[in-house]
Amino acid sequence: MKIGIMGGTFDPIHNGHVMLGEYARNLFSLDEIWFMPNGNPPHKMNVKIQSQTKHRVEMVRRAIADKDGFVLQLYEVECKDVNYSYLTMQHFKEVYPECEFYFIIGADSLFALENWVHPEKLVKTCVILAAYRDDKNTDEMMTQISYLNQKYDADIRLLKTPNVDISSTEIRHRLKNGLSVRDMIPESVYQYIQEHHLFVDDLEEMKQKVQKSQKESRFMHTLGVVETAMQLAKQYHVDERKAEIAALLHDCAKGFGGQEQLRFCQKYGLTITEAEERNPFLLHAKLGAYLAKADYGIDDEEILDAIRWHTTGRPEMTKIDKIIYIADYIEPNRNQAPNLDEIRRLARVDLDECLYTILKATLAYLETKQDVIDPMTEQTYLYYKKLLNK
């Protein structure tokens, strides 16, 4: 058996990797290509590997699932020690003595090979295929290959590949910025990335930033809204990730006092209504939407709207608007409002009924307190009252 080894971080695996495997198999009549995601690559010890090993592995599994002779090799991932190629290959040689191995490397690695750990031991275990793009000058590579072959008594050969200009770094960058990567990765890998929200902005970072901006009790409330909103999103088939972000950021402007909020709104050119002037605390919703975009980099209008309308609501609320509005009211740390048990029950049964009940209770509460009633709260109430024939 002739076996090609394609090691890599595969973060994510892309069409260039798959194609390289195919070229190697065809040009050198290999029986199998082992795709081997690395666990602890020595040269990347300091670099944060972007997606967890589990995801890198699953993406490879999907990318090669329908390719004859392509095999997922988990040896390095399961190996607890740092992965040195010479050790991995010595292991394969020992376990599969009858196999001939072809270790596939890129052009860059060809020029770094001397700095690897024990290159002289590596070359004893396998043929090395140095991939180069056929639009590049080969002289330099040929010189390096002869040099290394002589120095180590190695069998290094050129592996001609077409010019596929794809890199995992660029794919991660494009995904982060919402650009298309569809012709750079297999469809199945794309689906997997979407399903698991890989390579999008790190929510942990966002969470820490919110935490820093809020008092502890407020942050506890925020986490309660996140949890509740995600449950509701799941039940009502709303994108859970969007609900999570909207919930996390819904009170992100709440750390500022009323006067500060007024000043910020003026500074950022946000309109201030009469009700908001009289009770600047109402501004934290629209200021929150502004900051979610400006400070937290959220562009999604559905998320921004859910934040913008979370205090007053609005007529014709979207499902995510409703979920944030309701979660804000019923999250587990809330215990003041009357009738909470009934409202919590309603949330699981009928979003509109629940919404209406909260609006009604809020207006009643504001009236007893003689507090400013934002016309939008009133309008929202009337809209849902009519809609539900109350």
Residues that bind ligand DGI (CB under 6 A): 221, 251, 254, 279, 282, 310-312, 328, 362, 366, 371-374, 377
Nearest approach, Cβ of 337 to ligand DGI (angstroms)? Answer: 9
Residue 107 binds which entry of ligand DGI, Fe ion, none, with Cβ cut-offs from 5 to 8 Å by kind? Answer: none
Residue 11 binds which entry of Fe ion, ligand DGI, none, with Cβ cut-offs from 5 to 8 Å by kind? Answer: none
Question: What is the token pair recorded at 348?
Answer: 């699981």
Nearest approach, Cβ of 217 to ligand DGI (angstroms)? Answer: 11
Residue 374 binds which entry of ligand DGI, Fe ion, none, with Cβ cut-offs from 5 to 8 Å by kind? Answer: ligand DGI
Residue 366 binds which entry of ligand DGI, Fe ion, none, with Cβ cut-offs from 5 to 8 Å by kind? Answer: ligand DGI
Residues 102/129, Cβ–Cβ less than 8 Å: yes
Give burial (CB, 10 Å; 0-12/13-18/19+) of 21. buried
Which residues, including other chains, have CB under 8 Å from residue 126's CB and lie 6 or more apart? 5, 89, 93, 100, 101, 102, 103
Cβ-based nearer residue to Fe ion, 58 or 251: 251
Q: What is the chain's Cα-based Rg?
A: 29
Cβ-based nearer residue to ligand DGI, 109 or 228: 228
Residues 329/343, Cβ–Cβ less than 8 Å: yes
- Which residues of this chain interact with Fe ion, rule CB under 5 A? 251, 328
Distance CA 268, CA 263 (A): 9
Question: What is the token pair recorded at 329?
Answer: 């009211």
Q: Report helix, strand or coil for 4.
A: strand
Cβ-based nearer residue to Fe ion, 251 or 321: 251
Residues 43/191, Cβ–Cβ less than 8 Å: no
Residue 362 binds which entry of ligand DGI, Fe ion, none, with Cβ cut-offs from 5 to 8 Å by kind? Answer: ligand DGI
Nearest approach, Cβ of 206 to Fe ion (angstroms)? Answer: 16
Residue 354 binds which entry of ligand DGI, Fe ion, none, with Cβ cut-offs from 5 to 8 Å by kind? Answer: none
Question: What is the token pair recorded at 314?
Answer: 């609005």
Nearest approach, Cβ of 352 to ligand DGI (angstroms)? Answer: 18
Cβ-based nearer residue to ligand DGI, 38 or 261: 261
Cβ-based nearer residue to ligand DGI, 177 or 259: 259
Between strands 127-133 and 100-106, the pairing is parallel
Nearest approach, Cβ of 261 to ligand DGI (angstroms)? Answer: 12
Cβ-based nearer residue to Fe ion, 76 or 251: 251
Where do runs of H (alpha helix) occur along 279-374?
284-294, 301-308, 319-330, 340-347, 351-369
